Amino acid sequence: MSRLGQVILTLLIYITLVYFLLQAMPGDITQMYLANPKIPQAAREELKKQLGLDQGVFMQYLTYLKNFFRGELGVSFSQYPRPVWDILMERLPRTFVLFLTANVLSFYVGYVMGRVIAWRRGRVVDYAATVVGITFWTAFYPLLALVLIWVFAYTLKLLPLNQFIEPKLWQGAPFSVNTVFGYMVFGGGVVAIGLFLIFYAFLRGLKRTRRNVTLAWLSGSALVALALLVAWRQGVLVYIWDIANHMVLPVCTLTLISFAGTMLLMRDSMLETVQEDYVMAARAKGLPDNVVRDRYAARTAMLPTVTSLVLSLASSMSGGLVTETMFSWPGLGQVLFHSALANDYPLATGALAFTGVFLLIAHFVADILYAVLDPRITYTGQPATEA
């Protein structure tokens, strides 16, 4: 597929750019390791040879590229001798859980509010929500995070102050942190798919009677209860609860700061769809207002917001640097920041390349999703042929 080829080419160019950009930075690794006067000249040369720094820049680049596609990103300098890949893999689930939750929540809030304010265009709700949304959207993020930490964790003591786990609780815990994150990703995924299937079957597939709605809610909550029970029996529930507790503040901050994006997009998209004929037909049929809004107009209007969800998920994960630094959340963004400050080139390059791969995959998925959701669009840019 040509699209896939383009993605791989873009990835290659991206990694090249990142590599040479970091190579061009002053403050070389060689100085860190080789300028130590206690190391004799011969040992220094040997070290240089071992690190492969005696070769030309281009040869080093080719070696890096070869290793990159094998999944070997080198050894971190600041956390010597841990491989970069290990560090990134350790951090990935933490970042993933945090940002997935935050994005889904902010998407949902933005979606619901967007359809409401588009429906009530020009009323007080519209203006108030837009002004408040924009103010948070453009708020100075690190400061907002600090203020929220200060209010909710420091003054009111409602939420844990920092970090992502309570160290005391985890002493002698039978699980490593990442195992628990793995459980969270896996269990959350299974429950989400299960809930989706249940609600899809009952509310869309079958007739939407009161009995079916009740059944859907009952079986949905049964599924959640079952998942919680399994977690409790396994003994992870208390740890999951601890992590969830620490997640509340970052997730809420992220939601506050980013819900306006989806909201405004949804509003604009909705303003177009409410002028369509089929919406007027639905109204003329005498359907209640909120049914027309939620099930006729909003479903079509949702299209651009879905793709923006995928993109924002990817970009917020790479841009998670600010969030993770402010909340001391040891994820990918924090590793990137610390490695940059410590002149740890292999780790910084690896982290940047890694986020690039993420973004690329997200762009690819967004393109496909768009084409799947809207049959009028194909990715080649030509209109779809009529079957």
What is the contact surface with another protein in residues (CB under 8 A)? 6, 9-10, 13-14, 17, 21-22, 25-27, 121-122, 127, 130-131, 134-135, 137-143, 146-147, 150, 154-155, 264, 268, 271-272, 275, 315, 318-319, 321-322, 325, 333, 336-337, 340-341, 343, 348, 352, 355-356, 359-360, 363
CB contact at 8 A, 262 and 111: yes
Q: Render 136-157 in DSSP notation, one character per residue.
A: HHTS-HHHHHHHHIIIIIIIS-
Q: How far is CA 303 from CA 43, 111, 136, 252, 262, in A?
A: 61, 11, 24, 25, 11
The number of C-alpha atoms within 13 Å of 65 and in the hemisphere containing its C-beta is 18
Give me the least distance between CB of 102 and another protein, in Å please: 17
CB nearer another protein, residue 9 or residue 89: 9
Cis amide bond preceding 81, omega within 30: yes
| Three-state DSSP state, 236 | coil
CB nearer another protein, residue 212 or residue 315: 315
CB nearer another protein, residue 306 or residue 340: 340
Give me the least distance between CB of 137 and another protein, in Å please: 7
Give me the least distance between CB of 121 and another protein, in Å please: 8
Give me the least distance between CB of 182 and another protein, in Å please: 25
Residue 343 gets the label, from left (phi > 0), alpha (psi -120 to 50) or beta, of left
What's the CA gap between 90 and 180, in Å, rounded? 12
CB nearer another protein, residue 220 or residue 374: 374
CB nearer another protein, residue 198 or residue 331: 331
CB nearer another protein, residue 108 or residue 137: 137
Give me the least distance between CB of 216 and another protein, in Å please: 37
What's the CA gap between 354 and 103, in Å, rounded? 20
**The token pair that represents 147 in the structure block:** 């203020």
Give me the least distance between CB of 13 and another protein, in Å please: 6
